[in-house]
Amino acid sequence: MTIYQISKTNMNSFFYLILILFVILVDFSCFSFSDHAEDPTYSKYSKENHTSTFSLDTSLYIEKYKVLSGGGGATTCDVYACYITDSVNFRKYIGEEDFCSKRIHWDYQESGAVVFYAVYSDFDEINNKPINDTTKIGSYIISNLIKEGKFD
């Protein structure tokens, strides 16, 4: 075996090693914490990063806080905690949304109740069509929330 053959063999091994490391790097950079409990920075009750407030009426609001940053990977999204509040008497945790596949919608009824829904979206690549699923996640009577006076 000549020195040239040894160098060529070592170069092939080196390129395979670089390729494997690249694949691992891409895989981890696109990793998403589907189970947020694994992420040490995650807290669904964190109120450090308020992002928006939506008015349901003159004294009732939906507040959103970013609780997990997606980190910019190809399959990651920011996660937001949603609350309903009157800003004085109560703040009730509703759930999370991530804008990639899960959004929270609400229906404010004249009876003083609010119904919340989680809307899940995905894409069926086999049939080439969107998939949407809506699940009721909670219903609250505002006067009861005021009486309870709890702040999540």
- Report field, pTM of the whole predicted structure over 0.75: no
Please report which confidence band the pLDDT of residue 105 belongs to, taking 50, 70 and 90 as the band edges: confident
Q: Looking at 30-34, 56-60, 79-83, 84-88, which range is the least confident one?
A: 30-34
> What tokens does 99 get?
């804008």
- The SS3 call for residue 122 is strand
Cα-Cα end-to-end distance for the chain = 72
Residue whose token pair is 């219903």 = 139
| Domain spans, the chain | 1-30, 36-148
Q: Are 113 and 83 in contact (CB under 8 A)?
A: no
